[in-house]
Amino acid sequence: MGVRRLRRRKGGRVNLRSYCSRSGVGYQELIVDDGLVNKVYETTFPPEARASTLGIPDGCIDVQFLASGSHEECFVVGSFSKGRLAGSSCYERCFGIKFVTGLECCFSKLDAPAVFDRRMEASPHMDVDTLRDIVHLPLPFEDRARLVVSHFEVGSRSDLFCKSDMLVAFITKTILDNVGSVRIEDIVERTGYSYTYVSTKFKEAVGCTMKTYASIIRTQNAIRLLSDCRYRSMTGLDIGTGLGYYDQSHFDREFKKYTTLAPSDIRAERSGILFL
């Protein structure tokens, strides 16, 4: 019997995780996954979480309003390249919008590779004041989140985004639909272009190589499966082989790179580790 591949459910919403914490982080989110906005989220970091909240690579670009007391800053934040302490946890509060770049739209006013694993001031690239007014409206989180999503509907994306190149959109969708478990060489062959050309176009639009993006998406799906009680009967090896890892050591090594944890840590301490 062949290995059962674990694929993204077509039409389903994917919740890409940005944080890993064992402490009492306050968190709420609205999952959108409309091809550009993956989700809107609001996080509060108590003092005990400041040194223990990890950032998880997700292949996305976020816009974050970060505040401590009355002081607030707004950044465009690229995906981490590996698991490490989350910079936003140095603040008391974070309101964020997570964008899936490459699938339908790309940032048109920034160099995607320059923001990968970094953050930069958002004000030179977008209308921060309008967004800040929405974030601070005296409304429940979900109402504010829906207003933020409306702000980035197709009609108002032209100032910050451009439509993705069909080549980049095809590669991004193929990797997402195959939960990151796909040979990059096979994707490139299907495009009819050279590897060098395709690789350059993808990195310019998304910020990282196709291989790195696929590894991040595969790890995100491993997190989803390891954290979901519906898959508790599956062993870590079952999940790893189902996602296309060569063996347990390969699964452990890549998962630890992107989360600082071993897959067995999630199963052994299910109630103590929370991915947000």
108-128 pLDDT tens trace: 777 888 899 999 999 888 889
96 pairs with which residues across the strands?
41, 64
Instruction: Note the pLDDT of residue 3.
Output: 35
Q: State yes or no: pLDDT of 54 exceeds 70.
A: yes
pLDDT of residue 197: 97
**Helices within the chain (DSSP H only):** 112-115, 128-135, 141-151, 166-177, 184-191, 195-206, 210-227, 236-242, 248-259, 263-268
How do residues 170-197 score in pLDDT, each as one tens digit?
Answer: 999 999 999 999 999 999 999 999 999 9
pLDDT in tens, 224-263: 998 888 888 888 888 988 899 988 999 999 999 999 988 8
Q: Is there a contact between 27 and 88 (Cβ–Cβ < 8 Å)? A: no
178 contacts: CB under 8 Å, gap ≥ 6: 5, 7, 8
How far apart CA 250 and CA 182 sit, in angstroms, is: 15
Q: Are 226 and 266 in contact (CB under 8 A)?
A: yes
Over pLDDT 70: what percentage of the chain? 91
216, 79 contact by CB (below 8 A): yes
Half-sphere exposure of 128 (CA within 13 A, CB side): 16
Q: Is residue 206 predicted with pLDDT exceeding 80?
A: yes
- Which amino acid is residue 203, in one-letter code? K
Q: How many residues does the chain have?
A: 276
pLDDT confidence band for 4 (50 / 70 / 90): very low
The residue whose two tokens read 């003092």 is 47
Q: Which amino acid is at 154?
A: V
Check residue 12 and give its pLDDT. 45
Which pTM value belongs to this model?
0.90
pLDDT grade, residue 155 (50/70/90)? low
- Where b means 16+ CB within 10 Å and e means fewer, 7-38 reads ebeeeeebbbbbbbbebebeeebbbbbeebbb
Examine the pLDDT at 156 and tell me if it is beyond 70. Answer: no
Mean of per-residue pLDDT scores for the chain: 87
pLDDT of residue 271: 52
pLDDT value at residue 16: 92
DSSP state of 8: P
